Amino acid sequence: MGLPPYATLGQRIWYYSFRVICGLIFFFLVAPIVVVMPLSFNAQDFFTFTPEMLRLDPEGYSLKHYRDFFTNPQWQLALKNSLIIAPLATIISVSLGTLAAIGLSQSHVPFKGTIMAILISPMIVPLIISATGMFFFYAQLGNWMESTLGLDKGFVGYVKVVLAHAVLGIPFVIITVTATLVGFDRSLTRAAANMGAGPVTTFFRVQMPLILPGVISGGLFAFITSFDEVVVVLFVGSASQKTLPWQMFIGLREQISPTILAVATILVVISIALLTTVELLRRRSERLRGMSPG
Amino acid sequence: MADTATDQAFVEFERVQKSYDGEILVVKDLNLSMPKGEFLTMLGPSGSGKTTCLMMLAGFETATHGEIKLDGRPINNIPPHKRGIGMVFQNYALFPHMTVAENLSFPLEVRKIGKSEREEKVMRALGMVQMQDFAGRRPAQLSGGQQQRIALSRALVFEPELVLMDEPLGALDKQLRETLQFEITNLAHDLGITTVYVTHDQTEALTMSDRVAVFDDGRIQQLAPPDELYEEPQNSFVAQFIGENNTLMGTVSKINGDRCEVTLDGGEIIDAKPVNVSEVGQRTRVSIRPERVEMNKERLQPDVHTLRAEVLEFIYMGDIFRTRLRVAGNDDFVIKTRNAPDQVRLTPGTQIEIGWLPQDCRALDA
């Protein structure tokens, strides 16, 4: 869309300044992420661009921080914890969030607005406040599980963090699934019932495949929330449940090692890969169902 | 189909009432009984309760009072998926994530029918609507008419004895609608299926059905075969709703068996057949079909009353002429005449005299 030949001077100025503003916004969004990447290949143990790096001298670059990440037991424990906690929290968020969204989309549910507001609240309430509340709540719950149920301390620790993260992820799932349900044709479930399918079959064969794009993007948000989350983990978890963000946070405070930058780079790459995959899958399924042109 | 029909009612509504809010009755005291193999249409304006009745039969709504029976057993407490009723929806309701063949195979899979038998039944059902070549397509790749054909064969594939259709042709264009009307009635009669068809299109109702139930205000106003419905409406709602109709208001001034005289509000006297008026002095709305009005005095009985009319408009419609008249103060009195070689074309302003056979003019409730 170019400028029309009859554009006035004012329109021309606005046309170019609009582009500059958009470029600047984009730059401010992306620059902090991009700048981390070359720094993570630093041969020195500092957060600065060394003269060798600026000269593009191969001597100035190394993979030693990546090596550190993959060999250091502290980082490996954090990685393992993140890979345990995030998927479990995601599964819980997706199951509960999807069911909640379907329930709330029924016309006969009373106090829909209130219930929705309560379920969404973890997303709106400042995280530090939720975290403080969770700290007391899960401390009690943890004590009860350890003393009354006699469960292992480490296991209880994981349960606490997983549940806390699931709560944070649920609003994302509810919002995305509710959005897909808006376009869901209720006569499809009626048709299925008519053909003899019980409610469970109808859910898995008809409703679920159709709202899957919403469920997947909700799940992705829930996963990334848990994977990136540091505040709640600090409050609810103990050192044996430390996740990657926790380890990064501690690392920043105690020893400013570029290993943090290496981890950040890996996380950014994983996030981009995840988002791209999911988006491609979603487009494919929409095309199959003829919901979007092309 | 008539020979398979028995005295035993297949579908029965007994004193059924339905209210959504506990105050307003959407369906009021519905009684209906259908023999096996019948094609029954529920016709009525929107909000008349016809769709609610269909939904109660399908099991998506529950009756507030009364009983619905299918093949002699009450089905009020049977959930929709155990009723074994086929249904065609207005918006087709095909599963967009499945191919045509998968859509048709779904009700068979749910019934745990083996793969080879399933495939055979799917192809046979697609054959009934000439859609075998489309088995591998997805619904979004089909036109509206094709989608509705698939929806129809999906409702028939598991061989239900009762099929419900909720305005299935509402979203299609006129020509396609006419073709499909024909296909649906033929299929229903060939397979001997009992069909309940809901529509607000009276042409559809008249051309397709064995019997039509005209709904208004939550009640069946008249339940009759199409010809009876058109020619002998039982009340003024049915007369107004089915086909075109001329009405005149008046008071019954003489009753003699199946003939009566009505004095119109302007003082003119006409002959009519008393339908739901019973005594002299009652207010009545007389109704006469445009094609039953006679302009040729020689064809009328000598003793009948005639009315003076002024031609207001003459419309040439090809096969028929439609002439609008002013009769007894009514400016919308329409007559239809066949485009025959000897038929006169009236010019506006002409004064003519019209009359009718007394049995064609029905004195109904006011």
Does B139 sit within 8 Å of A290, measured CB to CB? yes
Q: CATH number for the B9-236 domain, one of 3.40.50.1000, 3.40.190.10, 3.90.1300.10, 3.40.50.300?
A: 3.40.50.300
Q: How many domains does chain A have?
A: 1
Does A206 sit within 8 Å of B139, measured CB to CB? no
Does A190 sit within 8 Å of B87, measured CB to CB? yes
Task: Report the b/e string of B194-214 with b at 16+ CB within 10 A.
Answer: bbbbbbbbbebbbebbbbbbb
Across A50-65, average pLDDT: 80
Taking CB atoms and an 8 Å cutoff, what residues of chain B touch A191? 87, 89, 93-95
Domain assignment present for residue A145? The answer is yes
- Residue count of chain A: 294
The beta-carbon neighbor of B97 closest among A192, A196, A288 is A288
Q: Facing residues of A275 across strands?
A: none
Contact predicate B273/B280, CB 8 Å: no
A35-39, A76-80, B93-97: the lowest-pLDDT one:
A35-39
**Which pairs with CB-CB distance under 8 Å and at least 24 residues apart come from A69-75?**
A69/A259, A69/A262, A69/A263, A69/A266, A72/A259, A74/A247, A75/A244, A75/A247, A75/A259, A75/A263
Using the Cβ of A185 and the Cβ atoms of chain B, whether some distance falls under 8 Å is answered with yes
Domain assignment present for residue A50? The answer is no
How does residue A92 score in pLDDT terms, banded at 50, 70 and 90? very high
Which residue is closest to A292 within chain B, CA to CA? B140
Across B14-20, average pLDDT: 90
**Which pairs with CB-CB distance under 8 Å and at least 24 residues apart come from B12-15?**
B12/B67, B12/B68, B12/B69, B12/B70, B13/B53, B13/B66, B13/B67, B13/B68, B14/B66, B14/B67, B14/B68, B14/B69, B15/B65, B15/B66, B15/B67
Whole-angstrom distance, CA of residue A263 vs CA of residue B234: 84
Whole-angstrom distance, CA of residue B292 vs CA of residue B285: 17
Distance from CA of A167 to the nearest CA of B (A): 31
pLDDT tens across B259-314, in order? 898 999 888 889 898 888 888 888 999 999 999 888 887 777 777 888 889 999 99
Does A192 sit within 8 Å of B138, measured CB to CB? no
Residue A69 tokens, joined: 């990440």
Does A205 sit within 8 Å of B93, measured CB to CB? no
How does residue A187 score in pLDDT terms, banded at 50, 70 and 90? confident
Using the Cβ of A194 and the Cβ atoms of chain B, whether some distance falls under 8 Å is answered with yes
In chain B, residues 46-105 whose CB comes closer than 8 Å to chain A: 58-60, 79-87, 89, 91, 93-97
Residue B183 tokens, joined: 């296909």
Distance from CA of A279 to the nearest CA of B (A): 18
CATH of domain B245-364: 2.40.50.100
Distance of CA B66 to the CA centre of its chain: 24
Q: Facing residues of B343 across strands?
A: none
Does B96 sit within 8 Å of A290, measured CB to CB? yes
Which residue is closest to A188 within chain B, CA to CA? B93
- The neighbour count for residue A270, using CB atoms within 10 Å, is 12
pLDDT at residue A228, as a whole number: 86
Residue A222 tokens, joined: 């829930």
Q: Which of B80, B120, B116 is nearest to A201 (CA)?
A: B80
Q: Residue B334: CB partners within 8 Å, gap ≥ 6?
A: B244, B246, B290, B322, B323, B324, B325
Residue A273: give the domain boundaries: 74-288
Does B106 sit within 8 Å of A205, measured CB to CB? yes
Percent of chain A whose pLDDT exceeds 90: 31
Domain assignment present for residue A245? The answer is yes
pLDDT tens across B98-144, in order? 999 999 999 999 999 999 999 999 999 998 888 889 999 988 889 88
Taking CB atoms and an 8 Å cutoff, what residues of chain A touch B144? none
Whole-angstrom distance, CA of residue A46 vs CA of residue A55: 17
What single-letter amino acid sits at A255? Q
Domain assignment present for residue A10? The answer is no
Given its phi and psi angles, is residue B93 left (phi above 0), alpha (psi -120 to 50 degrees) or beta? left
- The neighbour count for residue B243, using CB atoms within 10 Å, is 17
For A293, B2, B287, B331, the CA distances from B356, given in Å and listed in that order, are: 60, 35, 11, 18
Does A290 sit within 8 Å of B110, measured CB to CB? no
Q: For position A208, which CATH number holds? A: 1.10.3720.10
Backbone angles phi, psi at B170, to 5 degrees: -60, -30
Does B111 sit within 8 Å of A289, measured CB to CB? no
Domain assignment present for residue A21? The answer is no
Q: Is residue B321 classed as helix, strand or coil in its secondary structure?
A: strand
ipTM value for the complex: 0.78
Across A240-244, average pLDDT: 87
Taking CB atoms and an 8 Å cutoff, what residues of chain B touch A198? 81
Q: Which of A256, A222, A262 is nearest to A244 (CA)?
A: A262
Does A194 sit within 8 Å of B58, measured CB to CB? yes
How does residue A182 score in pLDDT terms, banded at 50, 70 and 90? confident
pLDDT at residue A1, as a whole number: 60
Taking CB atoms and an 8 Å cutoff, what residues of chain B touch A185? 91, 93
Domain assignment present for residue A282? The answer is yes
Percent of chain A whose pLDDT exceeds 70: 97
pLDDT at residue A222, as a whole number: 92
Backbone angles phi, psi at B223, to 5 degrees: -125, 110
Residue B41 has pLDDT above 90, yes or no: yes
Contact predicate B78/B58, CB 8 Å: no
Most distant pair of Cα atoms in chain A: their distance:
80
pLDDT tens across B341-361, in order? 888 888 898 898 888 888 889
Does B79 sit within 8 Å of A289, measured CB to CB? no
Distance of CA A203 to the CA centre of its chain: 26
Taking CB atoms and an 8 Å cutoff, what residues of chain B touch A180? none
Taking CB atoms and an 8 Å cutoff, what residues of chain B touch A210? 95-97
In chain A, residues 203-222 whose CB comes closer than 8 Å to chain B: 205-206, 209-210
Taking CB atoms and an 8 Å cutoff, what residues of chain B touch A291? 96, 140
Interface with chain B: mutation pick from A106, A107, A194, highest number of B CBs within 10 Å: A194
For A184, B44, B58, B195, the CA distances from B18, given in Å and listed in that order, are: 27, 17, 14, 22
Residue A109 tokens, joined: 């549910």
pLDDT tens across B237-254, in order? 998 888 888 989 999 998
Distance from CA of B81 to the nearest CA of A (A): 4
H/E stretch holding B100 reads helix B100-110
Taking CB atoms and an 8 Å cutoff, what residues of chain B touch A187? 89, 91, 93
Query: β-strands B283-288, B307-316: how paired?
Result: unpaired
The beta-carbon neighbor of B110 closest among A185, A188, A201 is A201
Domain assignment present for residue A219? The answer is yes
Using the Cβ of B168 and the Cβ atoms of chain A, whether some distance falls under 8 Å is answered with no
Domain assignment present for residue A27? The answer is no
Taking CB atoms and an 8 Å cutoff, what residues of chain A touch B87? 190-191, 194
The beta-carbon neighbor of A187 closest among B91, B97, B106 is B91
Does A187 sit within 8 Å of B93, measured CB to CB? yes
How does residue A288 score in pLDDT terms, banded at 50, 70 and 90? low
Residue B4 has pLDDT above 60, yes or no: no
Whole-angstrom distance, CA of residue B272 vs CA of residue A253: 102
Does A290 sit within 8 Å of B106, measured CB to CB? no
Whole-angstrom distance, CA of residue B343 vs CA of residue B321: 9
Residue given tokens 């799940």 in the structure block: A219
The domain segmentation of chain B, as residue ranges, is 9-236, 245-364
- The neighbour count for residue A53, using CB atoms within 10 Å, is 18
